[in-house]
Amino acid sequence: MQQEKIWDADAAQRYDTPGSGMFAPEVLGPAVERLAELAEDGAALEFAIGTGRVAVPLAERGVPVTGIELSLPMVEQLRTKADESTIPVVIGDMATTAAPGKYTLVYLVYNTISNLLTQDEQVQCFRNAARHLTPGGRFVIELWVPELRRLPPGRTATVWQSEPGYIGLDTYDVLHQHVVSHHFHFDDTQQARLFRSPHRYIWPAELDLMARLAGFELEARHADWAGAEFTAESRSHVSVYRIPPIR
Ligand SMILES: C[S@@+](CC[C@H](N)C(=O)[O-])C[C@H]1O[C@@H](n2cnc3c(N)ncnc32)[C@H](O)[C@@H]1O
């Protein structure tokens, strides 16, 4: 499964859910506020900008935002909300593609670093973030904590969400740290719609080591955008890495 094939025109058209899910004000509001604070007075670069779920409100909040994105259909959706001069986007792979200029903030949210399926690509992604930052600049990652405690010995799949009309099921290859998320949407008919996405999961400690390889220090880690304490039970984290300022 290649990312370009996953994030096709159909996925792009279904992605936005204005006002609900990942587009709910209580989800987006704190994320945008925190990112604006971390950008200080500089510009931000979003890796895997998608349809601009975060970039559009962040730009409206007064932070200049540029994006890097692999999928043309996702960018076409973004273009229904913001033009090229408001939010410029470079088409390419976030692990290797260069965007013009320097930034005080690079951010990569909604678990998307895990869309890179090898450790090498994930380290490259950190290095690419570092290349775009000014001294003292920050790289912010939002990522889920791998849920291997839900996987009984000998089993390779877990249902992580089950509700009327939707089942979320993950299949694991623990040897390669790979998980494929299966999203089944169904109604009263015999038909179901399936969206699948492959990921390489990363433990927080491995993420910190990748950051160090690229010259970052961990500045902060919280369980959410509002600053809740990160604990052993946290299911997700927002980690802020920083290039040391020049002294
Ligand atoms: C879950 S969406 C997140 C989009 C957006 N950041 C958001 O928070 O809504 C994942 C996005 O990552 C993009 N993507 C996946 N792999 C990528 C890569 N290697 N380089 C750039 N974009 C990538 C996909 O095309 C898709 O738009």
Using the atom order of ligand 1, give the atom closest to the CA of residue 50: 27
Residue range(s) defining the domain that contains residue 95: 3-146+202-242
CA of 212 to the centre of ligand 1 (A): 24
CA of 190 to the centre of ligand 1 (A): 31
Number of domains in the chain: 2
Shared-domain flag, residues 85 and 206: yes
Shared-domain flag, residues 231 and 212: yes
CA of 154 to the centre of ligand 1 (A): 32
CA distance 235 to 225: 13
DSSP 246: P
Shared-domain flag, residues 29 and 44: yes
Using the atom order of ligand 1, give the atom closest to the CA of residue 48: 22
* pLDDT category of residue 3 using cuts at 50, 70 and 90: confident
Q: Is residue 87 part of a domain?
A: yes
Shared-domain flag, residues 21 and 119: yes
Q: Is residue 192 part of a domain?
A: yes
Using the atom order of ligand 1, give the atom closest to the CA of residue 46: 6
Q: Is residue 110 part of a domain?
A: yes
Shared-domain flag, residues 101 and 117: yes
Shared-domain flag, residues 154 and 122: no
Shared-domain flag, residues 238 and 169: no
Q: Whose CA is nearest to atom 3 of ligand 1?
A: 50
Report the pLDDT value the prediction gives residue 190, as an integer from 0 to 100: 82
Q: What is the CATH number of the domain that holds 17?
A: 3.40.50.150
Shared-domain flag, residues 216 and 113: yes
The predicted model scores a pTM of 0.97
Q: Whose CA is nearest to atom 6 of ligand 1?
A: 49
Query: Mean pLDDT across the chain, nearest whole number?
Result: 96
pLDDT digits (tens, 9 = 90+) for 141-162: 999 999 999 998 999 999 999 9
CA of 42 to the centre of ligand 1 (A): 23
pLDDT digits (tens, 9 = 90+) for 76-119: 999 999 999 999 999 999 999 999 999 999 999 999 999 999 99
Q: Whose CA is nearest to atom 10 of ligand 1?
A: 112
Residues with CB under 6 A from ligand 1: 3, 7, 48-50, 53-54, 68-71, 74, 93-95, 109-110, 112, 115-116
pLDDT at 247 over 80: no
Q: Is residue 247 part of a domain?
A: no
Q: Where are the beta strands (DSSP E) in the chain?
A: 44-47, 65-69, 89-91, 103-108, 133-144, 157-163, 166-173, 178-186, 192-200, 217-222, 236-242
pLDDT at 1 over 80: no
Domain C-terminal end among 198, 219, 234: 198
Alpha helices by DSSP H, listed for the chain, are 3-6, 9-15, 25-39, 55-60, 72-78, 119-132, 204-213
Shared-domain flag, residues 58 and 174: no
CA of 129 to the centre of ligand 1 (A): 15
CA of 188 to the centre of ligand 1 (A): 32
What are the backbone angles phi and psi of residue 47, rounded to the nearest 5°?
Answer: -75, 135
Shared-domain flag, residues 142 and 126: yes
CA of 114 to the centre of ligand 1 (A): 10
